[in-house]
Homo-oligomer: A and B are copies of this chain.
Amino acid sequence: MNVHTGTDASGYVTSETPPEAKRPRAPSIRDVAKLAGVSHQTVSRVLNNHPSIRDETKSRVLAVMGELQYRPNRAARALVTSRSRTIGVLTSHRSEYGPASSIQAIEEAAVLQGYLVVTANAEGADSHSIARAITHLLDQAVEGIVVIAPQVRVFDTLAEMQLDLPFVTLQSTGRLNDHALSVDQMTGARLATRHLIELGHRGIYHLAGPQDWIEAEARMEGFLREMGDQDVPTTAPILGDWTAEFGYHAGRELLRVRDFTAIFSSNDQMALGLMHAIHDEGLDVPRDISVVGFDDIPEAAHFWPPLTTVRQDFAELGRRCVALLIDHDELPEGTDAPGSVIPTLVVRSSTAPPSA
């Protein structure tokens, strides 16, 4: 591991400060102005492409900017406008596939709008670390927060801190909105559940995620409703923690009774652990037990057997979050985003009709 500075070929041998070094201050708006023979304000106008500026002036200024390699100073701008053009992302489990790809999409979308993204991970997801994460974001003067985390607790903490900050989550909350759970996640869960029912399964378990995650709640809700609608007797879902490890142990536990022929897992990782447990018992997927996941992480197609799962368009979700956050005041207050992202069922080889 090494540190490099770009140009290492300088001829200096002495470690004294090279004569007349005095790191030559980056060019400012005024330097550009002087060289272009205009006032700094004109340069500023070019920068913010103000309408009334003569084309010729504009191009002259732009030319000088290129020549000087001018870069607007974000700090100065933030200082005077008192707008940071920064949005914060609050996560937990940020290195897992779902959150990670959402972050990526958020970042891409934000950059496109000239915004900066700052992330803060609340490992452990307890109130304390959530508060710490929020504080970090606040220190960066974020203008809004995207929440990819146990939202209930985040909301509570946010309220506790009495912040008047716009925030947005990957799903509508079901709390502030009186259980107006977002359709998409639920639809996905229903899709998965229906698939199992249509294959002929009746003993179906649901391995849910932590219930203070809205996604988890919505998926569970979808499962329960679909089971209800189709008059299939339902057993209580098991509450997991998203990890393969948990899926494995839950599987071991479940298989001691084995009063089921299918499991719908709230994400792909837990499904993987589940299949591991099933294999460990000498059973086969899908012959003995069918498994459905959720998310369609890139690896899911190569699990053994390849996993039937629900594909989530994380990127699209991320993009919408940003859109909503950035021009949220242009939307009528309280309306849901038009056209939810609809997840699709990807049928692979981990599901089959129950074996007689």
Contact = CB atoms under 8 A, between A and B. Distances in A.
A106 B26 CA distance: 28
A120 B104 CA distance: 9
A325 B3 contact: yes
A269 B100 contact: no
A2 B172 contact: yes
Given A75-B84, A119-B117, A247 B2 contact: no
Contacts of A331: 3
A95 interface: yes
Interface in A82-129: 82, 84, 94-97, 100-101, 103-104, 107-108, 111, 116-121
Q: How large is the interface on A (under 10, 10 to 19, 20 to 34, 35 or more residues)?
A: 35 or more
A54 interface: no
A275 B303 CA distance: 9
Interface in A309-337: 320-321, 324-325, 328, 331, 334, 336-337
A166 B1 CA distance: 13
Contact of A121 (B79, B108, B244): B108
A301 B245 contact: yes
Nearest to A329: B3
B100 A95 contact: yes
B165 A6 contact: yes
Nearest to A159: B6
Interface in A258-313: 269, 272-273, 275-276, 279, 298-299, 301-304, 306
A13 interface: no
Interface of A: 1-8, 25-26, 71-76, 78-79, 82, 84, 94-97, 100-101, 103-104, 107-108, 111, 116-121, 136, 138-141, 158-159, 162-173, 176-177, 182, 243-245, 247-248, 269, 272-273, 275-276, 279, 298-299, 301-304, 306, 320-321, 324-325, 328, 331, 334, 336-337, 340
Given A4-B168, A26-B82, 13 more contacts: A1-B321, A1-B340, A3-B168, A3-B324, A6-B162, A73-B79, A95-B101, A96-B100, A97-B97, A117-B118, A117-B119, A248-B302, A303-B304
28 contacts: A1-B321, A1-B336, A1-B340, A2-B172, A2-B173, A2-B324, A2-B337, A3-B325, A5-B164, A6-B159, A6-B163, A6-B164, A74-B139, A75-B76, A75-B79, A75-B84, A94-B100, A95-B103, A96-B100, A97-B97, A108-B121, A111-B136, A116-B140, A119-B119, A243-B298, A272-B303, A275-B304, A276-B302
Which 10 interchain pairs have the tightest Cβ spacing?
Answer: A75-B78, A95-B100, A3-B328, A95-B101, A276-B302, A1-B337, A244-B302, A2-B172, A100-B100, A75-B79
